[in-house]
Amino acid sequence: MKLRISIIITLLTVVIFGFKLKNEKFNDPDKEKVLLEIVKYVVERGHYSSIELDDDLSLKIFDDFINKLDPQKRFFSLNDIKELGRYKYKIDDQIKAYDLEFFEEIHKVYRSRIADAKIFVDKIFDNNFDFTDNEYMDLDSDSIPFSSNKNQLYERWRKQIKYSILDIITQKNSSDAIDDNQIKIDAISTAKKNTSDFFNYANEIDRDDWFSVFLNSFVGQFDPHTFYFKPDDKEKFDVSISGSFDGIGARLSREDGNVKIVDVIIGGPVWKGKLLDVGDVILAVGQEDQEPISIFGMKLDESIKLIKGPAGTIVTLTVKKIDGQIKDVKIKRDEVELEETFAKSTLISKNSKNYGYISLPKFYADFDNYKNRNSANDVKNEIIKLKNNGIKGLILDLRNNGGGSLQTVVEMTGLFIEKGPVVQVKSIGNRKKILYDRDAQVYWNGPLVVLINEMSASASEIISAALQDYNRAIIIGSEKSFGKGTVQNIVDLNRFISNSDYDMGAIKVTTDIFYRINGESVQLEGVESDIVIPDSYMYLFNGERDEKNPLKWDKIGPATYTKWNKYDDKFKYATDQMNKKLNQNNIINDIYERANWIKSQQNISNIPLNLVKYKKYQKDQKIKASQFDKISSYENQLSFNFLKTEKTFIKANKELFEARLKWHKNLSKDIFIDQAVNTLDLIDSSIKTNYILAENKTE
């Protein structure tokens, strides 16, 4: 697959290398035209499926871009949409000609409408709010039309703000009393600040940001997972997929023009040196041997660029401490690992037996240096540590794991099976390839449960499907997984431009579809659980099937593989027993009932803006929600313990120790883990029963 992408890139480079921008300073439209040409060429030549750039596509781009800019219909008027409508069937022609007229026009109108809305909002807060009016707000933005005049737009903003104020009042005073004037004053003040922050943020969004939205309205028509990354977003994506970055190890936010520390990352330079505290405000940033630069009022992303830097370099931060003193803090930047991204394990005890649990939030890897930390190696190491603690079974938790590196998922599947196929891949031109585990070593050959939910996607579905097809694991979770059966590759757009001072970003483009080793695709259909545990939000989300333009489901011939027969009868016995027990489980039935109630709430769109009625509405909601309190108060009665090799290290680090204890507390409320352990317990019991019977027969 890497070779195929390299060939595509080489061909594209030959064609597009005519763009030479050596040290040229060119304005945004010039850069955008070049960027549009490169993006168009990459998706047309490199995407798995082809689409016609015609009037039908033009209309889809138009509607999508409008919706991305104004999803709640609070900026554009009906007249704006009519005026811009002259471009509905011209965008395809303009993209072919690299003409930016539509983008220029809509960008100009949108900026103007943001300024108009700010005037509306200032006027709204200048007037008094009447909380006795019997009026309602429609929350279904999809069904409401664009406003036909400025008065309607003003009313839409007024109702939105009033709704926000009512929500704040109710949070601060849930009693039936409505005459607490100070609460109303405070709520209005909070809503005004929040709205002001919104407009400050909107005014800071650059033209490049809006243009990337336009590009994604275009490339997103190929499929939901083809996506253009502007340079900053590409860097964030790299951090999310690798789980590490170079910096100081702190999370920042902007408040009233100031950059504030909101979290200190365990293991980072700030944490190791105890240099900063949550709540500290960074006033200025100085690089080595340079004068500090004030960052007050600076965009947060720009401030972060100054603070981050290569490992080993020094940055000096002028900081206002929580107690008010101002001091300079020198920090040596280093590689910061985001521990919440990485695999971690714990020991679960039940009935004097130990079971292993591994949480894997994503399939991470450093593509610049694959031998660096990756999820396959980390899971292998966790398995080894758990085996040394004498586990009887293993749980691999892939819930909410949206995928990641294809190479790591193939290697990780190999930890549980002998040599054999893991996944089939089909590329452009119907070219098929089977990816194999070629390492005969099995790191865990005992009973295995994999946890999934409707947010388990892509790589999570590859390993779940493979282990299910091999009959190597029992899949427990939502009715089915997300249903993303496509593979994406990242293409760096800068390689198509010679000697440019400009970073063009990158594009994630869908290049392949993957199939189970039994020949079926998981596209749209997902991986079905062997044991289904409901989720309270199960009826609100259908994964890939909810996307506007997903690729279709199909199937190919199966690969040649041999099923794992060690636990055939045990898995079937445990699955049958668990499904019977879950049908009679009161908590499970309560979850189904709450899921139906939450689904019914989606049909409620008209919200009262009268304070008495709004409080009654909220009170009724709380009363109904309280009927399901036993779900949130559920505890699984399992014991979660540190592994022998980790215990001393974790207890010696206060923040890490507290973080792990909090994690264990959350796990103790998890019904999925409870049922996974019950399943493993049944398998272990059936193994012992078979052993005793066999022993008696021998005698």
pLDDT bracket for residue 177 (50, 70, 90): low
Q: Which two tokens stand for residue 297?
A: 């009022």
380, 426, 484, 615: which one is catalytic?
484
Q: Taking residues 453-472, what's their average pLDDT?
A: 97
Query: Mean of the per-residue pLDDT values for the chain?
Result: 89
Q: What does pTM read for this prediction?
A: 0.89
pLDDT of residue 652: 83
Nearest C-alpha neighbor of 264 from the set 661, 658, 663, 666: 658
Which domains are delineated in the chain? 50-221 (no CATH), 244-337 (2.30.42.10), 340-488+508-682 (3.90.226.10)
Q: How far is CA 648 from CA 381, 638, 656, in A?
A: 18, 22, 12
Query: How far is residue 627's CA from residue 585's CA, in Å, rounded to a whole number?
Result: 17
**Is-contact 523 553, C-beta < 8 A?**
yes
The answer to whether residue 303 is catalytic is no
Read off the pLDDT of residues 564-604 as tens digits, 9 standing for 90 and up. Answer: 988 889 999 999 999 999 999 999 999 999 999 999 988 88
Q: Is the pLDDT of residue 698 over 70?
A: no
Q: How far is CA 412 from CA 60, 124, 420, 676, in A?
A: 40, 57, 13, 20
Instruction: Sort 130 into a burial class: Cβ within 10 Å, 0-12 / 13-18 / 19+.
Output: exposed
SS3 486: strand
**Which positions ≥6 away from 517 have C-beta within 8 Å?**
420, 421, 422, 423, 424, 434, 465, 466, 469, 470, 558, 559, 561
The answer to whether residue 469 is catalytic is yes
Q: Which two tokens stand for residue 489?
A: 């590759």
92, 223, 469, 684: which one is catalytic?
469
pLDDT of residue 30: 84
pLDDT bracket for residue 18 (50, 70, 90): very low
The answer to whether residue 458 is catalytic is yes
147, 217, 456, 458: which one is catalytic?
458
Share of the chain above pLDDT 70, in %: 93
Q: Taking residues 92-102, what's their average pLDDT?
A: 97
Q: Is the pLDDT of residue 644 over 80?
A: yes
pLDDT bracket for residue 4 (50, 70, 90): very low
Query: How far is residue 212's CA from residue 508's CA, in Å, rounded to a whole number?
Result: 13
- The 3-class secondary structure across 359-407, one letter per residue, is ECCCECCCCCCCCCCCHHHHHHHHHHHHHCCCEEEEEEECCCCCCECHH
SS3 253: strand
Query: How far is residue 3's CA from residue 10's CA, in Å, rounded to a whole number?
Result: 10
